[in-house]
């Protein structure tokens, strides 16, 4: 397979150096002796590690094996000679891990672990078969690897789905049918759900034919305080986190959903068949074959009876689903009532919260408020001394008398002086002065 064919179906761009014949020949060759050229291996490892991780990330490859890489990075019929050593080093550094490690990470007491172990067993058998073939073909083989970063990204993508925001129970087949673009492979699906269970995001049970999945919706953690004799305590009580599991109600809901889907499919099929029989009866009647038309109508009538029963059963199933969902809500409401009741009891359990002490406190409060009102009245009074009305009137008369005497004195002082000359003589002087001013 040529390099162009290797990447034709993958969203991955070859590095620019891929066309550099000299450099790529060196990168595809075995590393040189590290005692003579220690940087040769460092450069090769860095190049291939980054290229492998980029390819896995862009193509959402959670798992791969060495055969996949040989096909992807094939160039002129050759693949990197140091590929096995690169993968070993990446595994040591935690960039990749074996699939078996992720399968065994589940809780061994859970039934989900059995599914993982079964896949591990098949993987071991496959590995043993490859080893036996390698003894004959003398080719090296490596196990399947998991890319943790890609797995983490895929899990985050799943947790953003609308179905992850509810605690609705569903079967694995229903989940994969709902999102086929994400759950494309059975082994990858098991690895993904196994990891989600490990980090506490889903609850899984495989007691039935189909594994049941339940997404765990995170709840807001609130600090609980306890009352003591001195009042509220600020230190929260430590409580063990509640482990969310699939309950009997969840199993019942899963069974009802499965039955509902079965009934819907059957009802839809019968509706289609009844329409076909009705059309057949009309055609036979036009052709003049009344017997064939009656037979088609009789078959349709029988189907109609079954159809009505299935519809009634479906209605009952849907009613039971609604009641079970309501029962779960009622259970949460009752739990909230219990928490509120406990808080109220703790509040009234405080020694300071009794009727006699409350009445004493209110009486003391009333006394203090009365004292405050008296103090405010006293402080609002005027500090000026009041004089008698008669004294004020007498003082006003004295002031007026003094004002009149002062005004009379001022008028006397402002009178003009008595003239000493007669008016006729004065006029003659003024006339003579004017005459002199007029003469040239």
Higher per-residue confidence, 101 vs 3: 101
Give the angle subtended at the CA of 318 by the CAs of 314 and 319, to the nearest 5°.
115
- The torsion region of residue 199 among left (phi > 0), alpha (psi -120 to 50) and beta comes to alpha
Average pLDDT over residues 358-370: 83
Contact status, residue 173 vs residue 193, Cβ threshold 8 Å: no
pTM of the model: 0.55
For 401-421, how does the pLDDT look when each residue is reduced to its tens digit (9 = 90+)? 777 777 666 665 555 565 665
Which of 189-198, 238-247, 369-378, 390-399 has the lowest average pLDDT?
Answer: 238-247
* Half-sphere CA count of 69, side-chain side, radius 13 A: 25
For 196-239, how does the pLDDT look when each residue is reduced to its tens digit (9 = 90+)? 988 888 888 877 677 888 888 776 544 444 434 333 333 444 44
Domain boundaries, given as residue ranges, for the chain: 1-96, 247-348
Listed ranges 34-43, 60-69, 345-354; the one with the highest mean pLDDT: 60-69
Phi/psi of residue 97, each to 5°? -145, 160
Q: Which two tokens stand for residue 426?
A: 């004065």
Angle between helices 38-58 and 21-28 (to 10 degrees): 100
Name the pLDDT band for 125 (thresholds 50, 70, 90): very low
What is the C-alpha separation between 74 and 90, in angstroms, rounded?
20
Contact status, residue 74 vs residue 3, Cβ threshold 8 Å: yes
Q: Which two tokens stand for residue 346?
A: 């703790």
């Amino acid at each position: 397979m040529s390099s162009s064919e290797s990447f034709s179906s993958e969203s991955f761009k070859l590095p620019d150096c891929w066309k550099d014949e000299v450099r790529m020949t060196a990168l595809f060759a075995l590393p040189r002796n590290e005692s003579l050229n220690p940087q040769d291996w460092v450069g090769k490892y860095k190049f291939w590690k980054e290229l492998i991780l980029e390819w896995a990330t862009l193509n959402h490859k959670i798992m791969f094996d060495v055969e996949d890489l040989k096909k992807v990075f094939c160039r002129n019929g050759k693949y990197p000679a140091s590929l096995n050593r690169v993968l070993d080093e990446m595994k040591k550094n935690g960039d990749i891990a074996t699939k078996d490690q992720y399968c065994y990470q589940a809780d061994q007491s859970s039934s989900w672990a059995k599914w993982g172990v079964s896949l591990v067993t098949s993987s071991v058998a496959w590995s043993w078969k490859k080893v036996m073939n390698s003894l004959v073909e003398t080719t090296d083989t490596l196990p399947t690897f998991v890319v943790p970063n890609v797995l983490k990204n895929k899990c985050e993508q799943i947790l953003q789905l609308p179905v992850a925001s509810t605690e609705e129970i569903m079967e694995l087949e229903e989940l994969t049918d709902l999102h086929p673009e994400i759950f494309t492979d059975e082994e990858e699906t098991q690895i993904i759900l196994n990891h989600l269970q490990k980090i506490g995001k889903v609850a899984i049970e495989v007691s039935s034919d189909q594994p049941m999945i339940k997404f765990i919706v995170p709840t807001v953690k609130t600090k609980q305080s306890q009352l003591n004799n001195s009042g509220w305590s600020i230190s929260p009580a430590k409580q063990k986190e509640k482990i969310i599991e699939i309950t009997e109600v969840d199993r019942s809901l899963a069974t009802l959903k499965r039955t509902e889907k079965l009934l819907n499919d059957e009802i839809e099929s019968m509706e289609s068949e009844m329409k076909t029989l009705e059309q057949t009866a009309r055609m036979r009647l036009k052709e003049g074959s009344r017997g064939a038309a009656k037979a088609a109508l009789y078959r349709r009538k029988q189907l109609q009876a079954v159809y009505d029963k299935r519809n009634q059963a479906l209605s009952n199933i849907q009613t039971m689903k609604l009641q079970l969902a309501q029962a779960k809500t009622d259970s949460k409401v009752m739990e909230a009532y219990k928490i509120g009741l406990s808080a109220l009891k703790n509040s009234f359990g405080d020694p300071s919260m009794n009727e006699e002490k409350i009445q004493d406190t209110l009486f003391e409060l009333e006394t203090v408020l009365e004292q405050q009102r008296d103090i405010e009245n006293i402080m609002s009074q005027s500090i000026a001394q009041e004089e008698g009305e008669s004294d004020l009137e007498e003082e006003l008369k004295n002031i007026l008398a003094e004002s009149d005497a002062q005004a009379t004195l001022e008028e006397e002082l402002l009178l003009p002086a008595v003239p000493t000359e007669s008016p006729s003589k004065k006029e003659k002087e003024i006339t003579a002065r004017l005459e002199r001013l007029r003469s040239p």
